[in-house]
């Protein structure tokens, strides 16, 4: 009973967050047909579950199609995910593409494969979305992903850039949305535990984590010991930008009176 009460409260909080994000950034709109990327990880399961719950409460109609890309990693077993999707009643499509072999050929022994693997998977998602007649692709990135990306770009790339809630794909053919972009990863982790999502681990990148991104996570956790609301404040900062107080020459020229 206690777990059920916790689950209800957690779902309400997350649904409120996703609804707020949707309104603020036009993430969900009437007659959307959305390809929801389901990797088999906790975030994508949570994304699909919450969108399905929210869909029933919207004052307009949207359609969800779960899309899973089976990338040919050794030891991969997508059976639990397929069973879960079948039982959910949500329309789904499994796409089998051996991107694993491509990544193995192009990545050096010490390099992290995640970036290339992600780009290949994203391209497959966009192509599949077009074939299914979807106008949007939903990704499961959350608040902590956005903050980690912000720090990575700041420390290593020299740019002020995080993750938008909505953007146009590079080919200009598909809108990409991140309904969970204001949701805390800890909440999604707990939701996955309570709902017992059948996690499908990645034997490739799971054994070779992104060291820099992991370091950003440790940094945030360390700073948060003295500042418990740090991540919430940082998310607020991404929504409270003062362009005139930055040093981008082109930006300042556009803003100049």
Whether residue 67 contacts residue 38, with contact meaning beta carbons closer than 8 Å, is answered with: yes
Instruction: Note whether residue 242 is domain-resident.
Output: no
Position 111 scores a pLDDT of: 58
Position 256 scores a pLDDT of: 81
Position 257 scores a pLDDT of: 76
Instruction: Note whether residue 54 is domain-resident.
Output: yes
Position 3 scores a pLDDT of: 64
Give 255's contacts (C-beta < 8 A, 6+ positions apart).
243, 244
Instruction: Note whether residue 214 is domain-resident.
Output: no
Position 230 scores a pLDDT of: 97
Instruction: Note whether residue 249 is domain-resident.
Output: no
Whether residue 65 contacts residue 132, with contact meaning beta carbons closer than 8 Å, is answered with: yes
Instruction: Note whether residue 239 is domain-resident.
Output: no
pTM metric for this prediction: 0.91
Q: What is the pLDDT along the chain (257 residues), one digit of tens a residue?
A: 456 899 999 999 999 999 999 999 999 999 999 999 999 999 999 999 999 999 999 999 999 999 999 877 777 889 999 999 999 999 999 999 877 777 777 766 555 666 777 788 888 999 999 999 999 999 999 999 999 999 999 999 999 999 999 999 877 778 999 999 999 999 999 999 999 999 998 765 555 557 888 999 999 999 999 999 999 999 999 999 999 899 999 988 888 87
Position 62 scores a pLDDT of: 97
The helix (run of H) or strand (run of E) holding residue 256 is none
Position 2 scores a pLDDT of: 58
Position 104 scores a pLDDT of: 73
Instruction: Note whether residue 234 is domain-resident.
Output: no
- Total number of domains in the chain: 1
- Rounded alpha-carbon distances, angstroms, from residue 78 to 75, 99, 126, 169, 195: 10, 16, 21, 28, 18
Whether residue 70 contacts residue 78, with contact meaning beta carbons closer than 8 Å, is answered with: yes
Position 85 scores a pLDDT of: 96
Instruction: Note whether residue 154 is domain-resident.
Output: yes
Print the domain residue range for 137: 2-209
Nearest to 140 by CA among 234, 206, 42, 213: 42
Position 1 scores a pLDDT of: 44
- Taken as a whole, the chain contains a residue count of 257
Instruction: Note whether residue 219 is domain-resident.
Output: no
The CATH number that applies at residue 71 is 3.40.50.620
Torsion of the alpha carbons at 94, 208, 203 and 35, rounded to the nearest 10: -10
């Amino acid at each position: 009973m206690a777990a059920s009460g916790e689950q209800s409260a957690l779902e309400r909080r997350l649904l409120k967050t996703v609804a707020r994000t949707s309104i603020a950034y036009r993430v969900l709109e009437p007659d959307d047909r959305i390809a929801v990327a389901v990797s088999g990880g906790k975030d994508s399961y949570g994304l699909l579950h919450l969108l399905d719950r929210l869909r029933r409460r919207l004052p307009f109609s949207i359609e969800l199609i779960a899309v899973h890309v089976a990338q040919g990693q050794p030891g991969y077993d997508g059976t639990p995910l397929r069973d879960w999707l079948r039982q959910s009643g949500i329309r789904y499509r499994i796409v089998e593409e051996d991107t694993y072999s491509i990544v193995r050929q192009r990545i050096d022994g010490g390099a992290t494969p995640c970036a290339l693997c992600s780009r290949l998977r994203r391209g497959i998602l966009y192509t599949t979305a077009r074939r299914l007649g979807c106008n949007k692709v939903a990704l499961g990135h959350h608040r902590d992903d956005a903050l980690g990306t912000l720090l990575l770009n700041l420390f290593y790339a020299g740019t002020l850039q995080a993750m938008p809630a909505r953007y146009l794909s590079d080919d200009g053919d598909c809108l990409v949305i991140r309904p969970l972009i204001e949701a805390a990863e800890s909440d999604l982790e707990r939701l996955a535990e309570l709902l017992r999502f059948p996690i499908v681990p990645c034997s490739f990148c799971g054994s070779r984590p992104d060291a820099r991104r992991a370091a950003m996570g440790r940094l945030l956790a360390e700073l948060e010991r003295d500042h418990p609301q740090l991540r919430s404040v940082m998310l607020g900062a991404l929504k409270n930008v003062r362009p005139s107080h930055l040093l981008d020459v082109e930006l300042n020229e556009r803003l100049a009176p």
